Structure 1
């Protein structure tokens, strides 16, 4: 039996071509690489908005929101 996170991971992390969208969703997790990639996609004018998710926890020092405004 697969665990829910395994199923989500298999769904999310597929090699797909990036195309125009309404928004770039950045899942929370304190990974600046995700915001850097979102920024690249934004500057390629593939989406007008970046929506970082997640929040501060005792294990996350910088959230994607903070990284977005830095």
Structure 2
């Protein structure tokens, strides 16, 4: 298990492999959670990802779900 505090580190760690699941915060410095998710999926990383956010708008939820595939 690893905890990181910005999106760039989250992306780098996720690419290293070895994770059963990833939890991302939407509002992270350097790269937000949705950007991390998009880049990981583009790289072919299919590990389950849970998105956390304080944002409650429907558009924010849809953005996370639509990019999770």
TM-score normalised by the shorter chain: which range applies? 0.3 to 0.5
Q: TM-score, normalised by structure 1?
A: 0.45
Q: TM-score, normalised by structure 2?
A: 0.45
Larger C-alpha radius of gyration, 1 or 2? 1
